[in-house]
Structure 1
Amino acid sequence: MFDIKWIRDNAAAFDRAMDRRGLEPQASQLIAIDDRRRALVAELQQAQERRNAASREIGKAKASGDEQAAQAVIDEVASLKTKIQQGEEQERQIDAELQAALSVLPNMPHDDVPDGKDESDNVEVRRVGTPRSLDFTPKEHFEIAGALPGLAFERAARIAGARFVMLQGRLARLERALGQFMLDLQTGEHGYMEVSPPLLVRDEALYGTSQLPKFAEDLFKTTDGRWLIPTAEVPLTNMVAGETLDEADLPLRVTALTPCFRSEAGSAGRDVRGMLRQHQFWKCELVSVTRPEDSLDELERMTGCAEEVLKRLGLPYRVMALSAGDMGFGARKTYDIEVWLPGQDAYREISSCSVCGDFQARRMNARFRPQGEKGLKFVHTLNGSGIAVGRALIAVLENYQNADGSITVPEALRPYMGGIETIEGL
């Protein structure tokens, strides 16, 4: 969400930022709405001042015995009251129109974000690890013999439909091991506080993190009007909604391991085989709330925390700086971490870490009190995957597959697997 006063003062810069996002100029039409609101407010102030003055005149007219003059003023006051009430309703409508127009505009890209329209313009920042040299043709995760008994796609489809999987036996345990490993790493070594948040949220929470109103079709809604979370970013970031924090409380770093639910409305026909794009999946989410001057450094730190998961698992990956046209709606700057999948012979996204500036904070009214200063400031928010469990499971299966169809369990996960070193079935 943007401050209309800032847009008025920086219209050209705002339009340049929207152009980088692939949008037409927006400032003039937003300012035009605000001009209507300002003109109406000035008119209402004049009417209120006249009503106050007229109210005082009633008593004077009555005291002078001029009942006709008094009645005329009484009628004027009644007319002004109706005019003010109608004007206040009109002001609320214009405010709602302005907020609706602002709420569907994406965040402004940071200056160092690469220009571009889509993922083809993303820039590789670094590449870590070397893919294994295999003496056999690697298979995708849903083709590996040792994994197949644990991937019950047909059973899941009978129960829930497409884009679900039922993990069984050692694969179910491996998924659980991955999630616990991630959570232990982020809390035990990286200083994130563990949270067990609600999985159902109200409209306001999704508005605060900018999934609503623009992306309602990507979400699942319950019969009582609440929403299943698409990511734990929603409840974790909204922990500070409507609050005023002390500067000493920042940075706030929290993490949660939760199921996530997405309708995948815009992905018809994409990744229909296997587990890569599911309606339900587990993810270890990272959220930070910082002072404005610390948020870019926090993005680098958060990305490093996500990368460490892949380093410990021995999975090759690369870090990509997303172009302005490929970033998420609420982000000012984003790094995607892409893991190597030998079965696809490609790098695929496994984590996305973003700094949102005060974009979400303004929507949530989340502020802090700077030490030694008057007034309040909006916090900055960040979110990232630390990491997506289902995709990590895919990466482990494909990178640790053997020629005989078995899967070697990475050393970092063996304590969580009861010492199991190899998976060859259930």
Structure 2
Amino acid sequence: MHDLRALRADPDGFDAALKRRGEPAVASTVLVLDRERRAAETELQELQSRRRTISKEIGALRRKGCDTSDLEAEVASGKARMEELQTQVDTLDGQLRNTLERLPNQLDATVPDGADESSNVQVHQKGTPKEFAFTPREHYELGEALGMMDFETASRLSGTRFVVLRGQLARLERALGQYMLDLHTGSNGYEETAVPVLVNSEAMYGTDKLPKFADQSFRTEDGRWLIPTAEVPLTATVSGQILPADVLPLRLVALSSCFRSEAGAAGRDTRGMLRQHQFQKVEMVSITAPEESDAEHERMTRCAEMVLEGLGIPYRRMLLCAGDTGFGAAKTFDLEAWLPGQQAWREISSCSTTRDFQARRMNARFRAGDGKPAFVHTLNGSGLAVGRTLIAVMENYQNEDGSVTVPDVLRPYMAGVEVIRAG
């Protein structure tokens, strides 16, 4: 949600920020609604004040036995007008809120211009893609040949974009999630948190998933939502709170199932596990004071990079351009892992700062140095997407015979298994 006072102070700047994202100008529309709402509120407050004054006058006159019919008529007339004004205020407030809640966050000044991912900027690359003595296969070819990745059964059970993992691949996926959690809690200072995968609309709205992305999420018949990411419940834990300054930054991490309808993804990554309706992800969330959020964004991204470095997966950090930055983000770093089977870099983590965009929606604040409540800043990042990391491990550690070598850091979680083989 946007700061209406900032928009009033610089409407041209607000529209210029929207233009960077390819959005139309709306400041004039918002300001008209704002002026009309404030005028109606002012008149309503004046009538309420007048009514209180008249009520006192009527009481005094009645005690003296005086006629109060004219004043009573004024009260009746004022009541009708107040009801009319209240309806007007509520309507204008709804229109204003509906307009503002659909506008994306303002971008950080360092975000490069550009319409799509082709304008993203590489910050750095770590690791060199391995040269294979054979033609590397994609993960689903490896998994099906191993007899441990079953899309056909999953399709019978649930439809497309699901998978059944078996045996050592199922264990490898579990090992990845445990390794990530242990790294983030043991070395990176995050508090492990187990969260519900069903949340209410307030939690989804506060983390900017509603109303914009309703069609990309699954909703139950009782009106709750399956989480698209643990960012939603983790961030929403501070909704409506005023936090003591000394508890910041809060750093939370969760391994959870995530659910996305993948609306608009028809024809994209239909083979394999890259784009699933249900997947596992380790999510990091930070709640900070405003002056700490930029440093926290860098710190969070480094925490995600540490996972890939520990696994020995080549990756690159990309600064997303204006047109590729998500709705709620002010700035995003994507980490892209090298997939030898695809011969391509593919996103495996996104780390974003939303500044106070989410905090305003959920009224999450802290007690600042002057003792006054101020909005916190919220950040979120994948640390990492477990299924996509499984893909990266399988493709980077594949052998010519179709087996997959287990990275050293995962072997303690695999009961010492060094190589995953068929049979």
TM-score, normalised via structure 2 length: 0.98
Q: SS where residue 360 of structure 2 aligns?
A: helix
Q: Which amino acid aligns with 2:269?
A: D
- Whole-angstrom distance in 2 between the partners of 1:114 and 1:144: 38
**Distance in 1 (alpha carbons) for counterparts of 2:65 and 2:140:** 95
User: Partner of 1:6 in structure 2?
Assistant: 6
**Quick one: which amino acid aligns to residue 279 of structure 1?**
H
Q: What are the equivalent positions in structure 2 for 1:101-250 lying under 5 Å apart?
A: 101-144=99-142, 148-250=146-248
Q: CA deviation at 1:326?
A: 0.4
Q: Equivalent residue for 2:385?
A: 388
CA contact (8 A) 2:191 2:251 kept: yes
**Pairwise mapping of residues 236-385 of structure 1 onto structure 2 (< 5 A)?**
236-371=234-369, 373-385=370-382
Q: Which amino acid aligns with 2:306?
A: E
Cα distance in 1 between the residues matched to 2:33 and 2:207: 25
Change over 3 Å in CA distance of 1:89–1:145 after alignment to 2 = closer
Matched with 2:419 is 422
Of residues 120-129 and 85-94 in structure 1, the stretch that sits farther from structure 2 once superposed is 85-94
**What SS does the corresponding residue of 1:325 show, helix, strand or coil?**
helix
CA distance in 1, matches of 2:299, 2:76: 62
Is 2:77 aligned against 1:93?
no
Q: Which amino acid aligns with 2:10?
A: N
Deviations 1:289-346 (A, max 9, x none): 0110110110110000000100010000100000011011110000000000011000
Tell me if structure 2 keeps the 8 A contact 1:147–1:424. no
Deviation per CA, 1:197-218, whole angstroms, max 9, x where unpaired?
1110000000000000111000
Q: Structure 1 runs of 4+ off > 6 angstroms?
A: none
Structure 2 contact 231–284 (Cα < 8 Å) conserved: yes
Q: Supply the distance in 2 between the matched residues of 1:213 and 1:145 (Cα, whole angstroms).
A: 38
For residues 226 and 317 of structure 2, the distance between their equivalents in structure 1, rounded to whole angstroms, comes to: 30
One-letter amino acid of the counterpart of residue 49, structure 1 = S
CA distance in 2, matches of 1:421, 1:411: 8
The 2-side partners of 1:25 and 1:315 are apart by: 43
2:146–2:403 Cα contact (<8 Å) kept: no
Q: Which residue of 2 aligns with 1:52?
A: 52
Contact 2:319 2:332 in 1 (8 A): yes
The runs of 5 or more residues in structure 1 that have no matched partner are none
Q: Cα RMSD over matched residues?
A: 1.3
Distance in 1, matches of 2:234 and 2:65, equals 68
In the alignment, what sits opposite 2:404? 407
| Alpha-carbon distance in 2 for matches of 1:229, 1:60 | 61
> How far apart are the structure 1 equivalents of 2:63 and 2:252?
69
Letter in 2 for 1:106: P
Deviation of 1:173 (Å): 0.4
**For 1:46-94, what per-residue CA distance to the aligned partner results, in whole angstroms no more than 9, with x for missing partners?**
2223323332343455466553xx2122121012122212211221221
SS in 2 for 1:211: coil
Q: 1:145 to 1:204 in 2, by over 3 A?
A: closer
Separation of aligned partners in 2, 1:403 and 1:35: 70
Q: Distance in 2 between matches of 1:280 and 1:389?
A: 11
CA distance in 2, matches of 1:133, 1:382: 37
Paired with 1:293 and 1:154, the residues of 2 have a C-alpha distance of 51
The residue identity in structure 2 corresponding to 1:408 is T
Contact 1:219 1:228 (8 Å CA) reproduced = yes
In terms of mean alpha carbon deviation, does 8-17 or 181-190 score higher?
A: 8-17
**Distance in 2, Cα, partners of 1:75 & 1:284:** 66
Contact 1:145 1:406 in 2 (8 A): no
Alignment partner, residue 18 of structure 1: 18
Letter in 2 for 1:13: G
Relative distance call for 1:397 and 1:224 in structure 2 (3 A) is same
Check the 8 A contact 1:334/1:355 in 2, yes or no: yes
Residue 282 of structure 1: how far off its partner (Å): 0.2
- The aligned residue for residue 73 of structure 2 is 75
Paired AA for residue 301 in structure 2: T
Check whether the contact 2:332–2:353 (CA below 8 A) recurs between aligned residues: yes
1:128-161 CA-to-partner distances (Å, cap 9, x unmatched) read 1011110101111111267541111000100000
8 Å CA contact 1:142–1:148 kept in 2: the answer is: no
Task: Report if aligned partners of 2:146, 2:402 keep a CA contact under 8 Å in 1.
Answer: no
